[in-house]
Amino acid sequence: MQVEFEESLKSDHEVRHEIEVKQEELLKKGDTLERDLEHAKQTAQDFEDLCQDELNKFTFSPRVYDTDKDHDHHSILRKLDANLVLLVHQKLGKDFVWVLPQGLRSEGETLHQTAERVLKEHCGDQLNASATDKEIISLREIRCALRVR
């Protein structure tokens, strides 16, 4: 039990609950001391009940905001419970199409630097965007037809 207690992946709450169950069994047998009873003022079950009560009383923030009600598609403060994708209106060949911001990588430039530069070129300095990580999530290599180039 000691090795499991020290090296277990159980949470402190689970370990505490197991100890309380064993203490309750000892209490039924009459093998417990009075100081053990004083030590357990709040049982794990009491803690779970209090947590459940707190969850039931908690009021969640609304998922629908004024920008959603007004159908303001230009605001980033809309659909906060969903992932939004940035699309830009870009000329490809003769046509303008809605695509992800894209551009060519300059020689000696990292992909992270390219992504920041292309975003700034398409959206300007007004867009407050920052990368959460420098690791590449996806890379798309496009071979364009000569007429598009």
pLDDT tens digit string along 5-15?
677 677 888 87
Contact 101, 119 (CB under 8 A): yes
DSSP conformation letters of 61-90: PPS--HHHHTT-TT-SSS-TTS-----EEE
For residue 137, what is the DSSP state? S
Q: Do β-strands 88-92 and 95-99 pair in parallel, antiparallel, or remain unpaired? A: antiparallel
Per-residue model confidence (pLDDT) at position 107: 92
Terminal CA-CA length for the chain? 71
Q: Taking 70 as the threshold, does the pLDDT of residue 40 lie above it?
A: no
Per-residue model confidence (pLDDT) at position 147: 56
Per-residue model confidence (pLDDT) at position 128: 79
Q: Taking 60 as the threshold, does the pLDDT of residue 26 lie above it?
A: yes
Per-residue model confidence (pLDDT) at position 32: 59
**Which one-letter amino acid corresponds to residue 85?**
V
pLDDT tens digit string along 65-87?
777 778 777 776 777 777 778 88
